[in-house]
Every structure is written in C-alpha cells, then in structure tokens.
Structure 1
Amino acid sequence: MFWHMGLPTASPVDTILDKENFTLEELLDEDEIIQECKYVNGRLINFLQERAQIEQLIRYIVEEAPEDAERLRSLKFPFIACEIFTCEVDIILKALIEDEDLMDLLFSFLDPERPHSTQLAGYFSKVVVCLLLRKTIPLVNYIQAHQDIIRKLVDLLRITSIMEVLIRLIGTDEHIPGNSVDSMQWLEDMNVLEMILDKFSSSDCPKVHANAAETLCSITRYAPPGLASKISSPSFIGRLFRHALEDSRPKSVLVNVLSICISLLDPKRLTSVTYYMYNRQLAYGSGITAKPETVGAMLERLGDLLKLLDLSSDHVLLTTYGKLQPPLGMHRLKIIEFISVLVTASSEVAEKEMIRLGAVKRILEFLFGYPYNNFLHHHVEQMVLSCLESKNAEFVEHLLHDCNLTGKILEAEKNFTLSVDINRPTVTAEGKLPPRIGNIGHLTRIANKLIQLGNDNKDVQTIVQENGEWVEWQTNILLKRNLVENVFQWACGRPTSLQDRTRDSDDDDYQDRDYDVAALANNLSQAFQYGIYSAEDIEQVCNVLHCLPILSKHCFIFALERE
C-alpha cells in the first residue's frame, strides 16, 4: 500500500491481482512490481512462487526473444524477471532451487547451441550468483551432480558475466560462506585449472585470454589451498610460459599470462587500470614473499622474456610530440611490470639472475627511451626503488655502478628536451621545437630516494659522492626543486592538497568504499531504457552522483552516455 496526501491508495499491483483473469505479463509490465516484491506483498509472492510462473520467468531470462518480438518481450520482461529473483524472496528462491527441472531449465542457457547474448548472460549470471549467496549448499550440490556445468562455463569465458559465475563457483570469492569451500573439494579433481589454461592455446580471442587470466588471478587470491597450491607449482607455471612464449600465439596470451604471474608473486596487487587511479601513494620495497619454487620456475624463462623487449621493428606511431619507432606496446610494458614485481619479491636468487642477464640495465634504457609513457615510468621507478632497498649489497652496487643510475639521471637533467637522434625510440616531430621530457618527476623521486638511503647506508653514500657532478647537482638544483615542487604530493600532474583536508565520517565512508560503477550504470541505463523510471527518478540519480568519488562519477556518467 502507498500513501499520497495522507490517504491510502491501492497499489497498481493489487489492482491487477484483484482482476479475475490477469496474466504474468500484466504484472511484469507494471512499474511497481519490483518494489512490491521487496516489500513482500503476500498476494503477489503467492502468485509468483507457483511453478508455472517461475518457469516462465526463467524462460524470459534464458531464451532469446523472436526477432519480431515487441520491446516488452525482448527488453523489459527479461530485466524484470531477473530483478524478481534478485529481490531474494526466500520462498521464490526455494521453489526454484528445490525443483530440478527448473534448475535444468535455468542452466540450459549454457548449452552450446544457444546464441548467448551478453544481455541474457548478465541476467543469468545475477540469478545464479543470488542462488549461490542465498542457497549455497543446495546449488553446490546441484552443480556437483551436473559437473558438465563447469566445462560449459569455461567454454563461455569470452562473456565476462559468465566468468564472474565461474569465479564464484570455484570458491574464489570472499563473499562465499566459508563452509561452502570445503564442500567443493571435488573441483580439485576436475582439472578445472587445466580447462581454463587450455583457453590460451585453443582460442585466439583476446577477450577469452583476459577473462581466463582474471579467473586464474582470482584463484591465486581467494581459492582453497588445494587449487592455490596447484596454480603456483613449477609445472603449472612452466605450462603458462610455454603458451606465452609460443611464436604462433597472439601477444594477448603473453600479456595475460604475465598478469597471472604477477598475481602469483603479489596476490593483493590489482592488475586493472583502477590500480593506478586509486593507489597513487605506493609503498615501495614492501617485501613480497613468494614461494621460492614459484620464483625459480619464472626465472627459468626470464631470458626469453628479455629477448621480447627487442625494439627492432619497422612500425612507427606518430604522436603530437613526435614519433615512436616502435611504440612500446602492451607486451613490453607487461614484461617490465612483471620484472618490477619480481624485484620486489626480495629473492636473492632472482637478483643474481637479473645481474647475470642485465635485466635492470635493459629496463632502465626504456625509462629514458620512452620519456612520455607514465605507466612505464611507474613500473621502472618501483623497480629502481626496490633495488635500492635490497639487502643484497651486490645488487645495489650493480644498479649504481654497472647500470650507472646517477649518470643517466644527470644526463637526462642536462638534455631535458626530447632527442632529435633518429636512432632513439622516441624522436621529436620535424619542424617543431623539441618538448620537455615527461619523466623528470619520476627521476626526481628516484634521486630523493637515493639520497635518503645514502644517509642511512654509508656504502651507498660513498658510491654516490664519488661523482662530484652529482653532489653539485644535488646541492644547487635538487634541493631547490624539492622546496618548490614537492613532487611527493603530486598525483596525475597536480597537487593533492584535497586529500589532506579534514574529512568527516560520511566523507570517509564514501571515499574509502569500492563502488561497482560499471554494474550500477548498466542496471540504471537499462531501467531508463525500459521506461521503469521517470524524470524525477533521473534527477535523484544525479543527486546520488554528488556522493560518489570524482573518478567514479565520471565513469558512471560515461557509462550511461555510452548506452
């Protein structure tokens, strides 16, 4: 019941239920049906829990509408059907989970002969995840009795929402109740890791590679001990690198396999773009502790990875500041990130192998060869700072002497404009004045860290002060620059004084919260598209945007506009 001007009025849903011959479609077309489900309207719930109604709701979710179907059938009804299940009304979920024929109908969406649109896949995913959260044990028992479901999910990894279902079913989600993890021991005997790994060799689709990698990365973070131990074994890592380094495979295989290796070295590390956006104040040299056998298996192929950093290519990319010959490319950037994380693992064996192969020296060349790639600068800076904080004096000396870190910094300070040398990877545009290089801020932070460590380490201080030119530059330029620019407060090229302001409890709550902006935008954009919400509702959404972090708000608006 709703109240308006102090007078009780009947709900439109109740008005439909009062009719003698009403249909499910009439209810689904009523805008207030979701709200009535959430308020547990008894008459409505009693109708929806009937087997015939649940079956029809599932069919809207798993069966594609005919090409000539009306908009209500193709768009609104599947959306509303999904929302009814995700209202988490226990009696409706119970009626579904206890009827094996209905469950078979729900999971028939995974059958290979179906078209698998991303829209219906999203609805299917939401219903299954809701069952997994609210009816965990019955759902796991059903899947255990129908193990082909796991293989079908793996075969549909190209769809991100299907990947999310697989991740949760494998037990790699922190929201799944702990007692359900023990009941999924059978997954370790299904060779599910091998099924996912085979996608790197059987598919050429970059989306499949990315989702397979994300699934395996989730396993490294949250999986039961058996799966986690298997994925970090030398034999499994060896198979990963065989796929990654195979000449006939796309570069997306290499990039995503290295993401898995990075997650094995540092399970808490995020590999998406949001990692760089939200984690700007980084703690370097945190001392990641990976298993020695895991690190050792990766080091066996380090030399092969370094060969892929070769820049001999005819590909040229024109930019506003000049041309890249060749562009850095995602695969080189990912190799550098992997080596940066490997250094952070603080493994003496890894440090000796890097000295032998000259890995650090090779990567430093990229820092100065590509002066406008900020992602690259971030990874190289992290690697250098980890090297400086190493307890291995030989490694530190290698960085300062053999790699000539201070000399390279001084050379960049002297020649602070883009090179005109045609043999360099980045060359200034013809007919234009060479612009200032874009890595000075990173070099300044490295220099400051070097000085800081020199104050605590006499060996480092001795090596640095051997260069009289460095001492002069430190006194006359660096100290003055620190007073004026204070680069430790920079973020995305601007001061971050707003981060230091006093925030009240409400500010702390929304600033520190992790919003699923993409999912939020997707749901609302569909709701607007189906005419479920009015102009007043849209205005309320705009008011909510003011409570979101700035970056999330921009992503939210972009997602809505994209629809």
Structure 2
Amino acid sequence: MFWKFDLHTSSHLEALLDKEDVTLSELMDEEDVLQECKAQNRRLLLFLCQDQCMQELVTMITTEPPAGVEETKRFKYPNIACELLTCDVGVINDKLGNEEPLLETLYAFLEQPSPLNPLLASFFSKTIGNLITRKTEQVLNFLRRKEGFLSLVLKHIDTSAMMDVLLRLISCVEPPPLRLETLTWLNEEKLAQRLIELIHPERDEERQSNASQTLCDIIRLSRDQANQLQEISQPDPLLTVLESQESVEQLLQNMFSGERTESCIVNGIQVLLTLLEIRRPVVDGVMDAQGFERSYTVNSSILLAIEPHLRHFHQLLLEPPKRNPMLTTLGVLDEPLGNTRLHVARLVASLLYTSSASHAVVAQELCRLNTMDLLLDLFFKYTWNNFLHLQVELCVAAILRPCAHEMRLQPGLGSQDKFKPHQDASQEQTLTETPTSEPSITPENSQEAYVLFQHCHLVQRILEAWEENDKIQSEGGMRRGYMGHLTRIANTVVHNLEKGPVHTQISSLITELPEDYRGRWETFVDQTLSETNRKNTIDLVGTGNPRPSSEDDMESPFPKELTLQQAFSDYQIQQMTANFVDQFGFNDEEFTDHDDSIGATFDRIAEININIDAGQDSANTAVFEACAKERIQPFDDDEEDIWEEKEINYATQTKSRNR
C-alpha cells in the first residue's frame, strides 16, 4: 500500500536532478542511484544517456584510477559505473550498443599493455558480455571488423575475466543461425588451435591454466548445446576441431616437449579428460530426452592420438616432476604423490572406461606397459591418499567389466541409459548388472583381466595387505587409509567372479593361483570379507532390507524408541493390509467397470467382519511383544503421585556421548 499510493518521501536524487550544474559524480554519490536506474527513473535515464555522461561512465570502467585517491574510494565510481551500464535497462543498452564511439572507448581497454587490472578487467568483461547478450548483432559486427580482437583477448588470457568474454561469444549468442555464424568466425580465427598453443612449458602457469579451463568449457558447452539444438544439422566447428586427431596430437606434443612441468602436464590432462567424458551429470535441472544425465560419444580419433603417448604417461608415474618433501599430520612425506601422478591415474581410469572392443589398442598398450601394476604399487605405497585409491579402484572395476558402458545397465532402463562411469565409488556396489545377452569372452577383451590377476597379483596383494593391516591394528596401530577402497575392490572381484561378464575367466585365473593363496582367498571371502560387509550394513528392524553405511556408523539423531515405534507401526499396517485383502478378496478387475462393480464392492464391505490375526508372523510378533514388555513398565502402588505439587529442581544432568 505504501508504494501503491506513492507516499514515499521525495528522494534527494530528484533534488539533485533539479540543479542545472549537477555532475555525474554527485549523482553516483547517492545511495539509491542504482535502484532508481533499475526502476527506470525517466529523468535519471535522460541524464545518464547524454553523450558526455555515457562516455564518462565507459572511461571509468576502462581507465586506471588516480593513484593518489584513497584506496576505499579508488574503485567506488568504476564499480557503480559498471552496475549502471549493466543493469539491463533498454535505453542504456541501446545507447551503448549503437554508438560506435562508446564501443571504441570500451574496446580500447584491450589495447592496454599487460597485465590488466583484474578488477577493471571484470568490469569490462561484464559490460561487453551484457552487450553480447542484449545487442548481439551490433556488437558482433563491431568485433568482427576488428582484426586483432582475438589476438588481444588471448594476449590477456592470464586474466581470468578474458575467459568469460570468449565463453559469452560461444554460449550467449542467439538465435542458433547467428550462433553458428559466430562459431564459424571464431574457428576461422583458429581459436581452438591458439588456445592449445598456450598449453606449453614455456608459457606461464596462469596462462596455461586459463587456456585449459577455456578449452574444457568450450567442449562441454558445445556438446550441451549440440544436444539441445537439434534443428541445426551442421556440427559445431570448434568442437569438430578440438576432437580431431591433429588437435589432440598437438596438445600432447606440447605437453611432452622440452622440460616436463607439472603445470603443463596437469592442464593438458584436464583437456583430455574432458574430451573423454562420456557422461555428464545433470546441471540446473537440464536432463536429456530420457530424463537422465546426458551422454556423449567419444570420437575414436581422440584415442588414436593418445595411444602413442601412453608410454610417456607411464614414465611420469615412474619419474614425476620433482617435488619438495611435504609435512603432514603423520610426519614428513619425503616423496609426495603429486598432482601429476594423480592426474595420470585419472586419465588411465578414464581410458579404461572409454575404450571398447573397437578401440582395444589403448587397453592393450596399457597392458604391455604394465601400467596397472605400477598403479597398484602406488596404491599401497601412499597409504593415506584416498584420491589415488579411488582412481585405482575405478581402474580395477573397468578391467573386470570389459565393454562396461555397454553391459552395466540399471534395471528398467533402456540401452541408452548406461552406467555412470565417474559416479561415486561408494554407490557402485548397489548397481545391478543386467546385460541383455551373455557377452562373448575373447582374448582382446579379457587380456586386461589376465594381466590384473597373473602379472599384477591382485588377489595376493589384497590378502597380504589385509593381513598386514590386521596385524598393525592388533598391535594398537592405526587402520590403513586404503582399507575402505580395498574392501570395495575385493567385493568387485567377488561380484564379477559370480556373475560378471568375464566370470568364467576370472574363475579360472583364481583356480590357477598357488594352493596356499587359493585356500586363503576362499577363507577370506567366506569369513573376513563377509563379516566386514555385515558390519558395513544396517538391518532395519522388521524390514529385512539392509542398507549400506559407512564403516563407522554414526549415531542416529532420533531416539531409539521412535525408530522402533515407526518400524513396528509399519509392520502392523502391513499385517492389517494383508488381512484386509485376504478377507475382502478384492482384485484389480473389480474396479475396471465404474458402476456395477463399485456398488457390489461396497455391498460386500458391509458384510465383512474385520479380524486381525497378529500371529501370522510368529517371529515378528515375538519381537514386537518383547519390545513392548521392555518399553512398558508396570504401575507400582508405592510410586509417588505425579500430580502432587513439589519443589521443582532445575539442576541439569549431562549425559556424555562417545564420538
């Protein structure tokens, strides 16, 4: 009501606008200037859209403030100016997008020498990004006339705001034909190739990192938009170039040319991992046509380009870039694992999941190099590095499930709804494998499993590590940090031994183990592993449905009696429903006809005497009665009267709780 009848007091801003000699700075000092601008105050917009004012606003966001100004006020006006220019008011967008002198002043910011002021760069990026979205054709025509535009942006790519400018051009241009035209222009300017050139040991780390992140974002955005814009038959030119064998080979040559630095290798692997993504999680509620996460096909040219360089990645596991000793809570780590070896492990896991029978050459080369044996060495050496443990676990799971992305389907899903290769490993055990047909076991798709058991001695390693951990704990030592992942690896072996796609070969490989290890493995599976799995599950009372939990079960936030009460309530309802149906004899066919059947059904209800037989399930009944006797205490005549008035004592009693 207050705003409806316009009863608010007149703003001091209006008084300033009444002055003939009011300046832009005076208006920007007012706290409500931005609010009035967004509310489209007519007098204020007329003042701001004057040529002199607009020129001054653009100059503020592109020019370094005087050094002598107080630090708190140096960027006050540039910040307000940026907010005014990007508040999405039509007249301001039209003025800034249609006036070429203003665009020239804005563009001049890119022509400054490096490094750019990061705050001013963010103001520039936000302003030009808003214009690309709101005044698309005008701004694109202006930028395309500037021959050195892309060179200037890449020159300043060490400033992260420049990444946003490129991504705006790729993702915010509408309609689709204009977007395709823009992508074609960027491809003609060789944007992808020039970004790849920046991932080189001779470049500074910030430039390499931003170039890598830009390439990853381009790949993901292009794939997402290709799925959403089905009406465009032409492929995305930038994505086509990035997925080509030539581009991947150039990236790999840069990574392994000259001195091998961690920054160059890690940033290059991040691009490769993005190219190898076959599943993308749902983001912002956007799903594929089937209502599940989006899936993509990996171009075979990517794998063909990577295969010759697998030996270089293997060598990095042996001789990574030197790192200084690291002080940890458990002591000094003389040789840290390092980001390089962790990313190589991620790449190997991704390659094993991605490569199928048609690209078996990658898996065969990894077997020849014996890379998996080296990763298992690192698994047990770096006891507390769970990031590495997860990647090795994923490698084992991929090897034991050849053609995994074709075989591992969730129940009830179609062939297009494939298993998520990068999902949380803790959830991996709960998936049910339902192959549509029994896979053929060939030497090509079982070679990795043979190497894993015969050359890597997976079973022997599991048994020895488990026994060593038990010995350490029995002597009062700490439990090894990899035991949770080792448990899941052992469960993966057992699961695939029973019904996996290569269960026949795995069974024969375990049979060929030395007699001592074969007997220890059988005992381990039947007793130790079974007991560990039992401890890692919680059996809800009366339901019989165990659910997995962490090994250290956390205390329930609800009182025990409430949990039992809910369980028994569910049990009672279930029993009543069963008896009700047994006595009524209803079936679905009686409800298909709307008139006669319904009337007859209610006539039968009036004739039924409900008799609940609580003794149908003797086991559950006994448990219920025992719990009831435990919870219900008999009345005692000598007990004090609870209604008797007595002095209230507020002394508190604290009950300790073990963490």
Normalising by structure 1, we get a TM-score of 0.77
SS in 2 for 1:243: helix
> Which amino acid counterpart does residue 110 of structure 2 have in structure 1?
L
Given that 1:288 and 1:345 are in contact with CA atoms closer than 8 Å, whether structure 2 keeps it comes out as no
Change in CA separation of 1:290 and 1:433 when aligned onto 2, cut-off 3 Å: same
Cα 1:308–1:66 change in 2 (3 A) is same
Structure 2 contact 201–257 (Cα < 8 Å) conserved: no
Q: Which amino acid aligns with 1:232?
A: E
Show the counterpart of 1:436: 479
| Correspondence for 2:200 | 201
Number of the residue aligned with 1:330: 339
Name the structure 1 match of 2:488. Answer: 445
For residues 354-406 of structure 1, give each alpha carbon's deviation from its aligned partner in whole angstroms, at most 9, with x where no partner exists. 11111222112111111111211121112211111114222223223322222
**CA gap 1:310/1:262 in 2 versus in 1, 3 angstroms:** same
Aligned to 2:533: 482
Alignment of 1:126-275 (within 5 A): 126-169=126-169, 171=170, 173=171, 177-184=175-182, 185-201=184-200, 203-223=202-222, 225-266=236-277
Summarize the Cα distance change of 1:494–1:128 in structure 2 as closer, same or farther, 3 Å threshold: farther
Query: Equivalent residue of 1:198, what SS?
Result: helix
State the secondary structure of the residue aligned to 1:481. helix
Q: Which amino acid letter does the alignment assign opposite residue 244 of structure 2?
A: S
Cα distance in 2 for residues equivalent to 1:380 and 1:176: 44
* 1:201–1:243 contact (8 Å) kept in structure 2: yes
2:462 to 409, 412, 425: 409
CA drift at 1:158: 0.8
Contact 1:234 1:294 in 2 (8 A): yes
Answer whether contact 1:289 1:346 (CA < 8 A) is retained.
no
Q: Distance in 2 between matches of 1:496 and 1:378?
A: 27
The Cα of 1:18 is off from its aligned counterpart by: 2.4
Q: Secondary structure at the match of 2:8?
A: strand
Pick one of 299, 303, 306 that aligns with 2:311: 303
- Report the 3-state secondary structure (helix = DSSP H, G, I; strand = E; otherwise coil) of the residue aligned with 1:416: helix
1:102 positional shift: 0.8
**1:280-310 superposed Cα distances (whole Å, 9 cap, x missing partner):** xxxxxx9974222210110110001111111
Give the superposition deviation at 1:153.
0.6
Query: How big is the shift at 1:87?
Result: 0.9
Structure-1 separation of matches of 2:245 and 2:335: 34
Instruction: Give the C-alpha shift of residue 15 in structure 1.
Output: 2.8
Paired with 1:33 and 1:5, the residues of 2 have a C-alpha distance of: 22
Displacement after TM superposition at 1:155 (Å): 0.8
Mapped contact 1:143–1:149 kept (Cα < 8 A): yes
Residue in structure 2 matching 1:291, options 269, 287, 299: 299
Pair 35,314 (structure 1): closer, same or farther in 2 beyond 3 Å: closer
**CA positional deviation for 1:200:** 2.6
Shift of 1:8: 2.4
Q: Is the 8 A contact 2:86 2:130 kept in 1?
A: yes
User: Aligned residue for 2:369?
Assistant: 357
Q: Give the deviation of 1:218 after TM superposition.
A: 1.8
Residue 542 (structure 2) aligns with: none
Q: Which of 180-189 and 298-307 deviates more?
A: 180-189
Are 1:373 and 2:385 an aligned pair? yes
Whole-angstrom CA distance in 2 between matches of 1:354 and 1:255:
20
- Judged with a 3 Å threshold, the aligned counterparts in structure 2 of structure 1 residues 203 and 15 are, in CA distance, closer, same or farther, namely farther
Instruction: Mark the CA change 1:477 to 1:219 in structure 2 (over 3 Å): closer, same or farther.
Output: same
Please list every run of 5 or more consecutive structure 2 residues that lacks an aligned counterpart in the other structure. 223-234, 284-293, 404-444, 539-546, 558-659
Structure 2 length as normaliser, TM-score? Answer: 0.66
What is the rounded CA distance, in whole Å, between the counterparts of 1:295 and 1:57 in structure 2?
A: 51
Identity of aligned residues (%): 30
SS in 2 for 1:330: helix
Superposed displacement of residue 324, structure 1: 2.6
The residue number in structure 2 matching 1:390 is 402
Q: How many residues align?
A: 470
Tell me the alpha carbon deviations over residues 295-335 of structure 1, each in whole angstroms, 9 at most, x when there is no partner: 01101100011111115869533422234331111111111
Change in Cα spacing, 1:17 to 1:203, as seen in structure 2 (3 Å) is farther
Instruction: Give the C-alpha shift of residue 181 in structure 1.
Output: 1.6
Residues 379 and 180 of structure 1: CA distance in aligned 2, closer, same or farther (over 3 Å): farther
What displacement does 1:70 show?
Answer: 4.1
Q: Residue type matched to 1:438 in 2?
A: G
- Which amino acid letter does the alignment assign opposite residue 328 of structure 1? L
Equivalences for 1:494-513 in 2 at 5 Å? none
Report the CA distance shift for 1:82/1:372 in structure 2 as closer, same or farther (over 3 A).
Answer: same
* Residue pair 1:111, 1:152 contacting (<8 A) in 2 also: yes
Q: Per-residue displacement from partner, 1:395-438 (whole Å, max 9, x unpaired)?
A: 2232233222222111111112899xxxxxxxxxxxx9853221
User: Any conservation in 2 of the 1:489–1:496 contact (CA below 8 Å)?
Assistant: no
Distance 1:380 1:496 in 2: 31
**Cα shift at 1:492:** 12
- How much does 1:97 deviate? 1.0
CA distance in 1, matches of 2:27, 2:367: 70
For the aligned residues, what is the CA RMSD?
3.1
Deviations 1:187-221 (A, max 9, x none): 21112222222223385321111100011112222
Query: Per the alignment, do residues 445 and 115 of structure 1 end up closer, same or farther by CA in structure 2, a change over 3 Å counting?
Result: closer
What is the rounded CA distance, in whole Å, between the counterparts of 1:315 and 1:492 in structure 2? 34
- Structure 2 CA distance, aligned partners of 1:57 and 1:8? 29
Equivalent AA in structure 1 for residue 464 of structure 2:
E
Alpha-carbon separation, structure 2, partners of 1:9 and 1:359: 75
Q: Deviation at 1:168?
A: 2.3
Q: What letter is aligned with 1:183? A: E
Identify if the C-alpha distance between structure 1 residues 160 and 242 changes in structure 2 by more than 3 Å, giving closer, same or farther. Answer: same
The answer on whether the counterparts of 1:24 and 1:53 sit within 8 Å (CA) in structure 2 is yes
| Unpaired runs of at least 5, structure 1 | 276-285, 420-431, 499-563
Paired AA for residue 384 in structure 2: Y
Amino acid at match of 1:334: H
Whether the 8 Å CA contact 2:266–2:339 is kept in 1: the answer is yes
Give the match for residue 38 of structure 1: 38
Task: Call closer, same or farther: CA 1:20–1:125 in 2, change over 3 Å.
Answer: same
**Does the CA-based 8 Å contact 2:278-2:354 persist in structure 1?**
no
Q: Which amino acid aligns with 2:318?
A: D
Task: Trace 1:114-125 onto structure 2 (pairs within 5 A).
Answer: 116-125=116-125
CA contact (8 A) 2:349 2:394 kept: yes
CA distance in 2, matches of 1:300, 1:496: 52
Distance 2:259 2:355 in 1: 34
Give, as a single letter, the amino acid of the residue that structure 2 aligns with 1:350: V
**Cα displacement (A) at 1:3:** 5.1
* Distance in 1, Cα, partners of 2:256 & 2:553: 40
Counterpart in 2 of 1:61? 61
Contact kept? 1:157, 1:212, Cα under 8 Å: yes
- State the Cα distance separating 1:497 from its structure 2 match: 9.0
User: Structure 2 CA distance, aligned partners of 1:247 and 1:109?
Assistant: 35
What is the Cα deviation at residue 121 of structure 1?
A: 0.8
